[in-house]
Structure 1
Amino acid sequence: MAQPSAQEQARQAPRQPSRPARRPGREARPTPPPKQHIGRYRRWYATLHPSLQLIGLQLWMPLFFIVGFCLCYVFAFHAPHPHDVPIGIVGGDRTLVSAVQKALPGEYLFSSYDSLARAKHDVVAGTIAVAYDPSANELFKASAHQFQVASLVPATLTAVLTGAGLAAPRVTELAPLPAYDEYGTVAMYVMLAWCIGGYMVAMFIGIMGGPLRHRTRMTVIVTGGLVISLITNTLAGPVVGAIHGHFVPLVLIAWGWIVAIGLAVNGLSYFVGRFIAAPAMICFVFLSMPSSGGAYPKWFMPEPFAWLNNVVVGSSMVDMIKHQLYGVGPGPERGLITMGCYAAAGLVLMFLGKKWWERRRIRAIVTGRTTMFQDANTANREFLGRERDAELQRNGLISTETGTLQVLRDDDWEDERAAGDVFTGGRDGLENEPLNPRRQP
């Protein structure tokens, strides 16, 4: 059977409706974005007083503080208990080891030292809590590194030795605390002041300085860090007297840490917006404080705070402060590495976050999407404008585009000069023409 030709197939095919030819220079209309869906709760919330809306949208912060303090501070400090506290034993006498493992299993971890000088060095460096020399029946501690350890551990080991029938050991102090830092808490609170100053500077930049360029943000962080460093070290040192000397090194250390923290928080702010206070306080206050070792060492802290001591900024800052002031703890290398890691992470987050924030902002503008906080701010601004106009009207004033003008009422526009005289003229000018007051709406 013969196949139909191509022309016959074209005639038999169903005709498609012809599209009107597009006029030259005329583009197709873009599809309008879908209308933002507003839920029932949000519609009800918008009916509240604008000031009440703003207050309600900020109540997450006190709730966050309550939860943070309970889960971090109360949980970490309500019952500090020793676990795997490192103790150095000089020589081969294992009498103390056997007695402690029998009386306090799992609380202390012993290591042997051949050299007494090496054991003393590790006590001052904070590698071990105390060192015990059985040949001289002597304990060595360093209060400047950790006051709680120097107070609790020798007392516990002395009780164990005397309970085993041995004589009470002599306790030798390798690094005493000065009188102006009697309990060794200065480093912890100075660290906390640096952390709070660093994250708050960057937090307000993130909340109110979204469109700012990287250069401007970093300038504010670096300048603000220097100012905060100078203020905190001046107050802690010359004013309060909690620190004697070391002003310039501590200013430089604080400046570096505040800038590193500020960069990290600034980078995070692109992703979380006005809620930047939550991750900033979690990282640099709620987790950093219990894990820093400033109040209790990591050997007394529950998990995860004991492990977090290796990564939080608080532990490195406390170690650097103690090493600078009292010559105890590890050297500055660990602190400098941690500082550099946080600063580098902040720079990476800034680079990636800026692009992500711009894309999200453009999408919100194009689609017309708003947040509850933006709606509450707009409503509050309009309400305050109406309140201002009403207050001006009650006081005989009216707001105009060129300023605030006084309104003349019908009953008080005339005065004794209405008739005019040769010096002042009439009320409306030098010419004594009839006055024509206008009634103000």
Structure 2
Amino acid sequence: MNAPSRRSSGESATEPVAKSPGFAAEFKDAITLRAFGLVLGGLLVQLAFVVSYVGAFHSPTPHRIPVAVAAPQQVSAKIVAQLNSLDGAPVEATAAPSPAAARQWVLTRKTDAAFLFDATGTKDTLLVASAGGPSVSQTATQIAQKIEAAQKRQITVTDIRSPNSGDGRGMTSFYLVLGWVIGGYLTATIMGMAAGSRPASRHRTLIRLAVLVLYAAVSGIAGAAIVGPVFDALGGHFWALSGIGTLVVLASAATALALQTLLGLLGTGVVILLFVVLGNPSSGGVYPAPLLPSFWSTIGQALPPGAGTTLVRNTVYFSGHAITQALWVLGAYAVGGAVLAWAASWWRERVHVDATTAEPELPLEPSPTA
């Protein structure tokens, strides 16, 4: 005997379909205040990026390019005064005691160029070091040629330290540091967004810092290998560049970890603002400081991209001269970032504990009667 059917003949065998909430409800659910704030933040970062790069690069103008002047004592002061009185102050001239000293000033980065005056003839010499920034050397050459033509004199330009053949226009240092900086803050961000992560405790922060130190060392060695043995762009300084890379990556990563622990998602935006929007155009990689507007030339060497670029260039091309400030800046970001990250995680722990202890206890429900 067949089992009785549970549906009447008029009922459909199809299950009822859930009703769509409708476009208006979906729109209200999608467009939240948080979503609007994130989109607005992205727009502001985008506009800041455009303003910063265009502002820094749209019209490079020489301003107080350091120049050494080697000339006989009776004319040295006059030449220095003439150079320093040029309209717009394109150069900052300083008398050097001898041509050899002027040359040494260029190689130790005390000056970007050296003007050697020929007291016995009409042919002078300009010494430049394009490895420190080809655009500055070219600008100094143009200024010198214009002045010499007005004085009915000739000038010979000698590049006493040019970039390596594999370094093109001397941009490898900038691109190498750019990769290290991006890798540092991106890895710190990924660690903070990893599945299962929670607001960093002090123990979690110490673990992340230990991982970042290891990552920084690997990144430094890998970057040095790429610009050295692989492409032969900055060869001959493998271990020095490995150490520099470790410091640059750690400075970027530790600072990112600190800001993200302290400010959350907003911290990531601050990192991008500092390192990308402001740090890259002011670093001196494309145009060195004497060709940048005052704002960018002032902040450049106080940020990791600028300090790192200077450190790499001067280590590879100028025997490690004029790198003390860059080392202090990067060290401050690395150590300061680590300390701030730990302090921020400790503060978050205290806030969490205080919030937990402040919650009132709920009264116990009476046990049910039999």
Q: Could you list the per-position Cα deviations for residues 368-392 of structure 1 after superposition, in whole angstroms to 9, with x for gaps in the alignment?
A: 9xxxxxxxxxxxxxxxxxxxxxxxx
Query: Equivalent of 2:93, from 110, 129, 147?
Result: 110
- Residue aligning to 2:362: none
In structure 1, how many angstroms separate the alpha carbons of the residues matched to 2:200 and 2:341?
Answer: 13
Task: Report the residue type matching 1:185 in the other structure.
Answer: M
- Going from structure 1 to structure 2, the CA distance change for 1:304 and 1:267 (only over 3 Å counts) comes to same
The answer for unaligned runs of 5 or more in structure 1 is 1-44, 369-441
- Residue aligning to 2:132: 145
Q: Could you list the per-position Cα deviations for residues 107-141 of structure 1 after superposition, in whole angstroms to 9, with x for gaps in the alignment?
A: 22211111222211221222212111112611111
Write out aligned runs for 1:191-340 (5 A).
191-208=177-194, 209=197, 210-212=199-201, 213-327=204-318, 330-340=321-331
- In the TM superposition, residue 64 of structure 1 has moved relative to its aligned partner by 3.5
- In the TM superposition, residue 58 of structure 1 has moved relative to its aligned partner by 3.9
Give yes or no for contact 2:164–2:233 (8 Å, CA) kept in 1: no
- Residue aligning to 2:21: none
**What secondary structure does 2:131 align onto?**
coil
In structure 2, how many angstroms separate the alpha carbons of the residues matched to 1:49 and 1:224?
Answer: 43
Task: Report the residue type matching 2:188 in the other structure.
Answer: A
Which one has the largest radius of gyration?
A: 1
- In the TM superposition, residue 313 of structure 1 has moved relative to its aligned partner by 1.8
- Residue aligning to 1:18: none
**2:152 matches 1:172:** no
- Going from structure 1 to structure 2, the CA distance change for 1:330 and 1:287 (only over 3 Å counts) comes to farther
- Residue aligning to 1:378: none
- Residue aligning to 2:14: none
**What secondary structure does 1:170 align onto?**
strand
Task: Report the residue type matching 1:244 in the other structure.
Answer: G
Q: Could you list the per-position Cα deviations for residues 378-425 of structure 1 after superposition, in whole angstroms to 9, with x for gaps in the alignment?
A: xxxxxxxxxxxxxxxxxxxxxxxxxxxxxxxxxxxxxxxxxxxxxxxx
Task: Report the residue type matching 1:148 in the other structure.
Answer: S
Give yes or no for contact 1:207–1:276 (8 Å, CA) kept in 2: no
**2:113 matches 1:130:** yes
Query: Equivalent of 1:86, from 66, 80, 99?
Result: 66
**What secondary structure does 1:138 align onto?**
strand
TM-score by length of 1: 0.66
Task: Report the residue type matching 2:94 in the other structure.
Answer: S
- Residue aligning to 1:48: 27
Task: Report the residue type matching 1:252 in the other structure.
Answer: G
Percent of aligned positions with the same letter in both sequences? 24
TM-score by length of 2: 0.78
Task: Report the residue type matching 1:131 in the other structure.
Answer: A
- Residue aligning to 1:27: none
In structure 2, how many angstroms separate the alpha carbons of the residues matched to 1:363 and 1:303?
Answer: 47
Give yes or no for contact 1:99–1:160 (8 Å, CA) kept in 2: no
- Going from structure 1 to structure 2, the CA distance change for 1:46 and 1:336 (only over 3 Å counts) comes to farther
In structure 1, how many angstroms separate the alpha carbons of the residues matched to 2:57 and 2:25?
Answer: 43
In structure 2, how many angstroms separate the alpha carbons of the residues matched to 1:230 and 1:110?
Answer: 40
- Residue aligning to 1:6: none
How many correspondences in the alignment?
Answer: 324
Give yes or no for contact 1:100–1:160 (8 Å, CA) kept in 2: no
Give yes or no for contact 2:136–2:291 (8 Å, CA) kept in 1: no
Give yes or no for contact 1:143–1:177 (8 Å, CA) kept in 2: yes
- Going from structure 1 to structure 2, the CA distance change for 1:288 and 1:332 (only over 3 Å counts) comes to same
- Residue aligning to 2:343: 352
- In the TM superposition, residue 144 of structure 1 has moved relative to its aligned partner by 0.9
In structure 2, how many angstroms separate the alpha carbons of the residues matched to 1:224 and 1:52?
Answer: 38
Q: Could you list the per-position Cα deviations for residues 72-91 of structure 1 after superposition, in whole angstroms to 9, with x for gaps in the alignment?
A: 11111111111122221113
Give yes or no for contact 1:207–1:273 (8 Å, CA) kept in 2: no
- Going from structure 1 to structure 2, the CA distance change for 1:301 and 1:151 (only over 3 Å counts) comes to same
- Going from structure 1 to structure 2, the CA distance change for 1:101 and 1:124 (only over 3 Å counts) comes to same
Which shifted more, 224-233 or 144-153? 224-233
- Going from structure 1 to structure 2, the CA distance change for 1:315 and 1:80 (only over 3 Å counts) comes to same
Task: Report the residue type matching 2:347 in the other structure.
Answer: W
- Going from structure 1 to structure 2, the CA distance change for 1:65 and 1:321 (only over 3 Å counts) comes to same
In structure 2, how many angstroms separate the alpha carbons of the residues matched to 1:319 and 1:57?
Answer: 37
